[in-house]
Amino acid sequence: MAKRVYELAKELNVSSKELMDLAKKNNIVFNSHMASITDEQEKVLRNNFMKKNNNQNKVKDQSGDTKKIVKKKVVHHFIKNKKNNDHRRTNFNRHNDLHGEGRILNLDNPRKNNRPQRKQVTKNIDDLNHKKTQSNNINLQHENSKGERKKEPIVDKKKFNNSNKKFKHDDSKNSTLMTSMPKPDLNKSSKSSEEKKSDKNKNQSRDRKKEYTNNHEETPYKRQKKIKFNKKQQKIKQKQEAKEAAAKPVRKEKPLPDVLVYEEGMNAQELGKLLHREPTEIIKKLFMLGVAVNQNQSLDKDTIEILAADYGIDAKEKEHEDIADIDKFFEQNEEDDNGNLVSRPPVVTIMGHVDHGKTTLLDQLRNSHITAGEAGGITQKIGAYQVNVKGKKITFIDTPGHAAFTAMRARGANITDITILVVAADDGVMPQTLEAIHHAQAAKTPIIVAINKIDKPGANPDHVIEQLAEHNLVPEDWGGDTIFVNISAKKNKNLDELLDMVLLQAEMMELKANPDKRAIGSVVEARLDKGRGPVATVLVQGGTLHIGDPIVIGNTYGKIRTMNDDHHRSVKKATPSMPVEITGMNDVPAAGDKFVVFEDEKSARLAGEERAKRALLAERSRTSHVTVDNLFDTMKQADMKEVPVIIKADVQGSVEALANSFNKIQVDGVRVNIVHQAVGAINESDVTLAEASNAIIVGFNVRPTAQAKSQAESSGVDIRLHNVIYNAIDEIESAMKGMLEPVYKEEVTGQVEVLELYKVSKVGTVVGGMVTEGYITNDAGVRLIRDGVVVYEGKLGSLQRYKDAVKEVKAGLNLGLTIANYNDIKVGDMIEAFVMKEVPVE
């Protein structure tokens, strides 16, 4: 059976790789160590391997004697009377024979692989001969000393290590140490016996180490393992040193700041960071100053300032920026750089008395029909629209003219640039006309007077001019600065002239805004939509408003989800002076609130929640408590009756107008208590609240849901629905008056003269007399008058005519009567009959 490569290698005591390399040199190629070998190939390989062994044996023969000398010398010099010595040396030599010296040299210094090995071996043999001579000299000196022990000379290990290269880094150190030591003087004996004994023990220990090192020669594997072990130990040592360095850091003290900017309530740990000092140092400083604290205890303002003074620096309290203050953004808007400003459309507010034609004028300008859909033909909510006139845009704000909408008109005047005052030529100046003038003058906006209804018979524009001149609105024809335009909104007369005047006034005012910043503005109107939630009509006053902007509106906040213009078309952005309808707030804002766009949603949420919290605290603080000063007023209010009311309306402005109007109703002894007010339809929660508080629900331009209606009917809650504001006000006023105690007024109905008296047992005195004036009824009150003095006042006991009881007896007729529980009546007395009638409250 043919042999395989690894089997032949095992027989020849070589590795498979070496055998395959030898075969390759003889032009025999094997694929792997499992390949089969023919008899001829085996014969060739065995012959070549024998030749190679013979050459190696020749080299060993030349150096054999020397090696024996080295062994002999080592045994004689280092170890005496050791039985296992020969065995250990034999293993050592066998180990060297197996691996060879050249292989150790290759591991230690791979750069010397190409150098010839024979030269090195010759050098090693010369070194060993020299060592033999030294060893013989030492033995000779031991014999001549006659038993006196001397310190043995130290052999230079460097010569042995030239061939083995063993423990190179350790041997180099030992070599340096050995060469520096002086040679022993054999003729000198100056040490005591104890010192000699100690030296002997040291030499024996050193000899054992040397013998162990020579007899346990390292293999390449052990060499590599030791190198790895040394590297690992070195890394561990480095880590330990690094830990020790970290445990004892050399801290460089930073200089103290020039000014300590602090916040009240900071602790020692926080102050240490500001002062670049350890908290323990701060605590120690404070303790020395008489303040015992720990590192987490809050410090007051005075303590922090004393600490800063002790360090020799100034202290300044940090100024907190109020995130809930949105007015600062409007102040910054006024300070915008002129280089970023661009022209913007004017904002024009139409104001005037109710039914003077404001909305009709706006209808003509917008080509719309707003008035056709208004209840009672009057505007009851504020609206914002934008109109294109000759390629230029004008934003119009339509305000109600009714007395209840004062707050709406004030809001319109505050956000406007120009005010158009509409006055009917046939009515002249009315109360709301004067109010509109005062709002515009307070807002310092220019007024353009539009005298409307000049087409009606009886119109007198000159009379209107005279009335307005009394209120500092003098026309330009009279030397004033107020523009007057005679128009007819219904007939579309002179409207172009009015618009030209508006554009001229706007051009003179040079209205500008910065569109390249976050938007700010005001809420014109707000409401609650069933499908979309809170909806607000806003007017952008500066910057540009985008969909997705985080926004704070009054006490509410949110992120804009949708944005529509006045024609209900979706838009992605709103530029200055543009009115838009937005959604996305967490609640319905109040009309007239300011809005600001924040940088991110988180800051907007924080600002909105803080503003809502402050508004709630302000509302709670308005609750009056009983004091000595207001004790009597409180007692008086406790005696007053209340009409609890829940207000629901379509828009926030109407809710505000109704609440203000109800609070202004003055009826002695009765007041309105607004339990709840909100926008949106009347729902079940409103009915439940009304049932609990015994309130009346007033709905303005809203209707109850089906569930709320059935719940109100079953629980007996009164729901009053209106679409004209003054009807709602009149009804609440009537309810307040109906709660008053009835007022009665005495009315004298007649007089009876006593003519005769009859004493009847079990009845008393019966009066026979005649009605001289008026009439007397059986339920009337009576007064007995004698000589002009009222003797008694009481009730009739009975009233008869002849023997029949009657209800009433008129003047000129005889009658009989008795007075209940009174009999002291005399002939000639006068009996006065009267009744108490209820008087209606005015």
Domain boundary among 458, 479, 510: 510
Q: Is residue 358 part of a domain?
A: yes
Q: How far apart are CA 145 and CA 163, in angstroms?
A: 35
> Is the domain of 179 the same as that of 51?
no
Q: Is residue 238 part of a domain?
A: no
Q: Is residue 73 part of a domain?
A: no
Q: Which residues are documented as binding site?
A: 352-359, 398-402, 452-455
> Is the domain of 519 the same as that of 503?
no
Res 614: pLDDT: 86
List the CATH number of the domain containing 665: 3.40.50.10050
> Is the domain of 391 the same as that of 537?
no
**Quick count: other Cβ atoms within 10 Å of Cβ 531?**
6
Res 363: pLDDT: 77
3-state secondary structure of 239: helix
> Is the domain of 731 the same as that of 748?
no
Res 545: pLDDT: 92
Res 62: pLDDT: 53
> Is the domain of 717 the same as that of 795?
no
Q: Is residue 237 part of a domain?
A: no
Res 732: pLDDT: 81
- CA–CA–CA angle 28, 33, 37 (5° rounding): 50
> Is the domain of 82 the same as that of 195?
yes
* Number of compact structural domains in the chain: 7
DSSP character string of 79-109: --S-TTHHHHHHHHHHHHHHH-HHHHHHHH-
Alpha-helical (H) ranges within 461-530 are 461-469, 495-509
Q: Is residue 69 part of a domain?
A: no
Q: Which of 827, 803, 824, 832 is nearest to 815 (CA)?
A: 803
Residue 603, phi then psi, degrees to nearest 5 = -65, -35
Tokens of 551: 């926004």
Res 774: pLDDT: 92
Low-confidence ranges of the chain (pLDDT < 70): 1, 55-218, 245-253, 332-339, 368-382, 399-414, 622-640, 738-742, 840-842
> Is the domain of 129 the same as that of 198?
yes
**Could you identify the residue written with the tokens 């200055």?**
576
Res 160: pLDDT: 41
How many Å from the N-terminal Cα to the C-terminal Cα in the chain?
140
Q: Is residue 456 part of a domain?
A: yes
Q: Is residue 65 part of a domain?
A: no
Domain interval for residue 767: 744-839
Q: Which residues are documented as binding site for GTP?
A: 352-359, 398-402, 452-455
3-state secondary structure of 452: strand
Res 122: pLDDT: 45
Res 769: pLDDT: 92
Res 678: pLDDT: 87
> Is the domain of 379 the same as that of 463?
yes
Res 173: pLDDT: 40
> Is the domain of 278 the same as that of 356?
no
Count, in order, helices (H) and strands (E) of the chain.
Answer: 25, 32
> Is the domain of 718 the same as that of 638?
yes
Res 108: pLDDT: 43
List the CATH number of the domain containing 587: 2.40.30.10
Res 773: pLDDT: 92
Q: What is the dihedral of CA 43, 47, 50, 56, to 10 degrees?
A: -140
Res 633: pLDDT: 63
Q: How far apart are CA 697 and CA 677, in angstroms?
A: 10
Res 770: pLDDT: 92
Res 680: pLDDT: 86
